[in-house]
Amino acid sequence: MNLQNGELVMPYPGLRAFMAEDQPLFFGLEAQVGAMLHQLEDHRFVAVVGSSGSGKSSLVRAGLLPAIDEGFLLGSTSWLSLVFKPGSQPYHRLDCELQRAVRLGKKEATASDPPLNANELSYVPTLLQSDRGLLEALTSSGISPKANVMVVVDQFEELFAFRLMNAGRGDVASRDEAAAFVRMLLRCSSDPDSRVWVILTMRSDFIGNCEAFLGLPEAVSRSQFLVPRLDRGQMEEAIRRPGEVADAVFRPFTFETGLVNRIINDAGDRPDQLPLLQHALMRTWKFALNRANGDSGPALSEGDYHKAGGIENALSLHADAAWATIASDERKADIARHLFLLLCDVSPDGQITRRRPKIAEVEAVTGASIAEIKEVIRVFQEDDRNFLLPAQNEGVSSETELDVSHEALLRQWNLFANNWLVQERYDADELRSLVKQANDRRRGRGGLLGEQDLIRIADWKKKKFPAMGSPICPRWNVE
């Protein structure tokens, strides 16, 4: 959260996406918001598509939804926004948002992967009944019939992974559920008598997967918004204008001459441009604030930016600082390493994407208690890191799903990407080799295993390794 007594505490959100409460700090993207509003007026559906780190979620949460709430769509201010990530439980995630809207009676019911409460899943049977399930659930929920409903499926690409979860095992349940969920969204947003609009955010490298769902390619083709990179003028607005916000806990601030241009040049067209920019700005501002020692209106300097690590290293250095507090504690270090390895999937071409393990998986891999795991998570949330979810104020159980605030952490943290993950790949290759030798031997195709092979096998039996094709973390196939 970035609010204290209703006022903004920090000018930049850091690694996480902008949220609705950050709207006063969200600059430079007014034209994009206007274009998406036009598409929603014409189609009641828009797919917001862009590369990882292009700012899709921020654009929708802090730009588009506040504009809709203010009446810029249909001239109506009567909107209910349901924002969720589908994960492997799309109907339950939607149900949680419906329950939250009913329970809190608020116009916007948002949360990052809210915990599922079995006693509050009463709308799931209705949602599953037909492709009009959402319309019927809204009617039975008691939500005002005058309220328009904006359904935002953030990180829609998770649905593709859910659909393929049990591919090759003869279990089509997840594929059928994913297809039914998409049919419901398309039906509700295309029915002229419906009060539902739909927004999807999706990584552009997954757009070809849309063909798996009947009607989705056509809908995306009709109303797709490809998120453009910020030009220099927009980038300067995003950097400077938060320092001019008056209604905030932090005081207005300025930049040393030439620093803004340097930051823009450093950002360039690198992958993960916007999250890296926001994190570097947050760290630079904090160093300037500490240097000013409470004086009004600090001027962010080249020295502050250099100390933060700049665009290239600010995120990695901040993560290193967290790691340094537990690196000497063998128990905590082991939990942290395995936890982060469980937080990502690696495609055959080496692309890193997030996955959301349950706390139970970390317990199984490390033998750690929930209390120990929470303590490690907290280390990566302190000092405005916000690297791991759920937030500290949310309850945690074995069924709670872990997440990173942005995939950029998995790609840009040098220790993880260039050490832990490289070692894991090496270990995976070695284990595949050992499994192949053992299988060949069992089938009478190979000779006796040598002494070194036997030693390696004995060493493997002693390891707790989460990524070797086990039910705990099935991203590596070693069978």
Residues 222, 119: one domain? yes
State how far the Cα of 52 lies from the Cα of 152, in Å rounded to an integer: 18
* Residue that is last in its domain, among 320, 347, 367: 320
Q: Is residue 81 part of a domain?
A: yes
> Quick one: pLDDT at residue 473?
42
Question: What distance, in Å, lies between the first and last C-alpha atoms of the chain?
Answer: 44
Residues 210, 98: one domain? yes
The tokens of 459 are what? 């060493």
Q: Is residue 1 part of a domain?
A: no
Residues 300, 398: one domain? no
CATH code, domain with 45: 3.40.50
> Quick one: pLDDT at residue 348?
63
Compute CA distances 70 → 35, 66, 177, 250, 448, whole Å: 16, 6, 35, 26, 74
Residues 403, 342: one domain? yes
Residues 333, 456: one domain? yes
Give the domain extent around 41. 29-226
Contact status, residue 6 vs residue 248, Cβ threshold 8 Å: no
State how far the Cα of 363 lies from the Cα of 368, in Å rounded to an integer: 5
**Residue 431: how many other CB atoms lie within 10 Å:** 20
> Quick one: pLDDT at residue 106?
45
Contact status, residue 311 vs residue 266, Cβ threshold 8 Å: yes
Compute CA distances 194 → 136, 140, 241, 454, whole Å: 11, 15, 39, 66
Q: Is residue 288 part of a domain?
A: yes
> Quick one: pLDDT at residue 433?
74
Q: Is residue 279 part of a domain?
A: yes
> Quick one: pLDDT at residue 214?
93
* Residue that is last in its domain, among 320, 354, 387: 320
254-255 and 3-4 strand pairing: unpaired
Residues 299, 408: one domain? no
Residue 388 makes CB contacts below 8 A (sequence gap 6+) with: 377, 380, 381, 402, 403, 404, 405
Assign 403 to helix, strand or coil.
strand
> Quick one: pLDDT at residue 477?
46
State how far the Cα of 423 lies from the Cα of 427, in Å rounded to an integer: 6
Q: Is residue 354 part of a domain?
A: yes
Q: Is residue 138 part of a domain?
A: yes
Chain segment 10-65, per-residue pLDDT in tens: 999 999 999 999 999 999 899 999 999 999 999 999 999 998 888 999 999 999 99
148-153 and 79-84 strand pairing: parallel
Count of the separate structural domains present in the chain = 3
Residues 303, 214: one domain? no
DSSP 205: G
State how far the Cα of 23 lies from the Cα of 20, in Å rounded to an integer: 5
Contact status, residue 420 vs residue 340, Cβ threshold 8 Å: yes
Chain segment 350-387, per-residue pLDDT in tens: 667 788 889 999 999 899 999 999 999 999 999 889 89
> Quick one: pLDDT at residue 440?
72
Residues 222, 93: one domain? yes
Contact status, residue 362 vs residue 338, Cβ threshold 8 Å: yes
Residues 216, 76: one domain? yes
HSE toward the beta carbon, residue 138, CA cutoff 13 A: 20
**Residue 423: how many other CB atoms lie within 10 Å:** 12
Residues 176, 255: one domain? no
> Quick one: pLDDT at residue 470?
39
> Quick one: pLDDT at residue 110?
47
Residues of the chain with pLDDT under 70: 1-6, 104-121, 164-174, 294-296, 347-351, 446-449, 453, 456, 459-479
Q: Is residue 12 part of a domain?
A: no
SS3 content of the chain, % helix, strand, coil (to 5): 50, 10, 35
Residue 234 makes CB contacts below 8 A (sequence gap 6+) with: 28, 29
The tokens of 37 are what? 């509003």
Residues 184, 62: one domain? yes
Residues 187, 238: one domain? no
Q: Is residue 377 part of a domain?
A: yes
Assign 377 to helix, strand or coil.
helix
